[in-house]
Amino acid sequence: MNAPSVSRVARSRFGVLPDGSEVERIVLQWDGGIEASIITYGASLQALLVPDIVGRRDDIVLGHDAFEGYLARRQFFGATVGRYANRIAGGRFVLDGKDVQLAVNNGANALHGGLEGFDRRNWRIVRIEDGDRPAVTLAYTSADGEEGYPGTLEVEVTWRLTGPMELSLDMTARTDRPTVVNLTNHSFFNLSGARSGRQILDHHLTVAADHFLAIDAGAIPLPQPPSEVAGTPFDFREGFEVGARIRNDHPQLRVGRGYDHNFCLAPATGEPRFAGRLAEPTSGRVLELFTNQPGLQVYSGNFLDGTTGGKGGRLYRQSDAICLEPHAWPDTPNRPDFPSARLAPGEVYRHTTSYRFTHAIQGAIGIQSKVELPRSGR
């Protein structure tokens, strides 16, 4: 007799764009484990249901219950961000001796792909896989000159359940002209649950980085080498509550209105390595993030201002979620001292990130995991 299936895929309509094109939702399910909902608009993670320590599943990412919320206001909830995640100073850089001018959309700077980035595009479904490792692959073709970027870029994003408690994200890109590429996922995590009404200040954060990038008032890295985290509120190497030092009178916390900084991970080798860990004491949920990217942007939801209604009719406010965004360092095209984001014809850009969930018990000091954590330093 055949064993019962432990996973499955569901596909349905999620909404309609003004031009009449359909936005679809693909739900990847693992019996007794996690459930991930992906929408074609922005190749976005719309929902992620994860069991707590007693087995009760809650959605742990901010967003909207209906498509109209995503269309009404651009806030990157769960979105695939590109062609260049984070900021490029002045929206300009020099590539192979030629000046490139991008669309600017964040003061004088280009942010998250410009005025209409990958998060505002309706991606096409190219493959759905059912079975033991359910997955969906979405694709988007970014035309030469879109938002000012050179080269036609062919991008694919694959979301896959690689275990009962693991969601993986693989992104590839190819170009017909030299260009720059920096993709990420912009999920807003709250391990208490997106509808819980709890903030993330009691979440325990670990980041495997000895250095971070100090920024100016426009969130552009300062013209200096990476700063050491030692002796600062940015030292999360041994783990700390997010809110423990977020209101310290540190100049970088003032300029960022909290944490909104790139942490410099161990040199990339092409293979995913441990980058960070987030744990929540009440639910016992633990998220461990592994990536092959050189940086991890930690954003503590500083600009959520209560003007956006989200899931369950809740208003999202400051510190209601935290983003852990693996990607290249910001403003890399203008910083030859930073790891390069250049992509040439014949090369393949590859981004791999895994979100692994476990459970923890609350110890006398902080949160102690039931499993030994891998570590990686700079």
Q: Which residues of 252-281 are buried (b: 16+ CB within 10 A; e: fewer)?
A: bbebbebbbbbbbbbeeeeebbbbbbbbbb
Return d(Cα 67, Cα 71) in angstroms, integer. Answer: 7
Q: Phi and psi for 109 in degrees, rounded to 5?
A: -110, 160
Q: How many CB atoms lie within 10 A of CB 36?
A: 26
The helix, strand and coil proportions of the chain, stated in percent and rounded to the nearest 5, come to: 5, 45, 50
Q: Phi and psi for 299 in degrees, rounded to 5?
A: -125, 120
| 204: annotated active-site residue | no
Of 186, 203, 204, 351, the active-site residue reads 186
205 SS3 class: strand
| 186: annotated active-site residue | yes
The strand ranges marked E within 108-264 are: 110-111, 124-129, 135-142, 153-163, 166-175, 179-180, 184-186, 188-189, 204-207, 211-212, 227-228, 240-241, 260-264
Of 24, 241, 288, 325, the active-site residue reads 325
Among 159, 194, 217, 227, CA closest to 301: 194
Report the catalytic residues: 186, 325
